């Protein structure tokens, strides 16, 4: 079935280092969403990307959607301990008008050492 692959599964960084997680799909996505789940918490929506090649920034976070709409990335500059959590990408397959559900990647668990 349709899958959204996310790498790496885990990332341990020193506070102040940068962090990137990548999301890949074998088929074209109509859009991609990113969520963050803090330890013991629930996923919280961060952003949605819709257009080919789109780049959006939220403070230290930069989100990109690939030109082919098959991949995406989240980059965090100068990580802080508050960035700890699991970051999920979630994509919707473009069925050309019919409905589709959101397919989540397995997430990248980020730990930050102070």
Chain residues binding other proteins by CB under 8 A are 6, 30-31, 33, 35, 41-45, 48, 50, 88, 90, 92, 99-107
Per the structure block, which two tokens stand in for 71? 């991949």
Q: Which residue has the tokens 């098959």?
A: 70
Nearest residue (CB) to other proteins, 32 versus 112: 32
CB of 29 to other proteins, least distance (A): 11
Nearest residue (CB) to other proteins, 14 versus 101: 101
CB of 80 to other proteins, least distance (A): 23
- Quote the distance between the C-alpha of residue 15 and its chain's center: 20
73: phi then psi, degrees, rounded to nearest 5:
-145, 155
CB of 78 to other proteins, least distance (A): 26
Nearest residue (CB) to other proteins, 30 versus 77: 30
Structure-derived torsion over alpha carbons of residues 77, 81, 83, 87, reported in degrees to the nearest 10: 110
């Amino acid at each position: 079935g349709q899958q959204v692959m996310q790498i790496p599964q885990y990332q341990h960084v020193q506070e102040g280092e940068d962090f990137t997680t990548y999301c890949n799909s074998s088929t074209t996505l109509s859009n991609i969403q990113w969520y963050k789940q803090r330890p013991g918490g629930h996923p919280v929506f961060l952003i949605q990307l819709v257009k080919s090649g789109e780049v959006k920034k939220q403070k230290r976070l930069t989100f990109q959607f690939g030109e082919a709409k098959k991949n995406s990335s989240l980059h965090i500059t100068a990580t802080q301990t508050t960035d700890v959590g699991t970051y999920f990408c979630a994509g919707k397959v473009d069925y050309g008008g019919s409905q589709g559900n959101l397919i989540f990647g397995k997430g990248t668990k980020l730990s930050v050492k102070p």
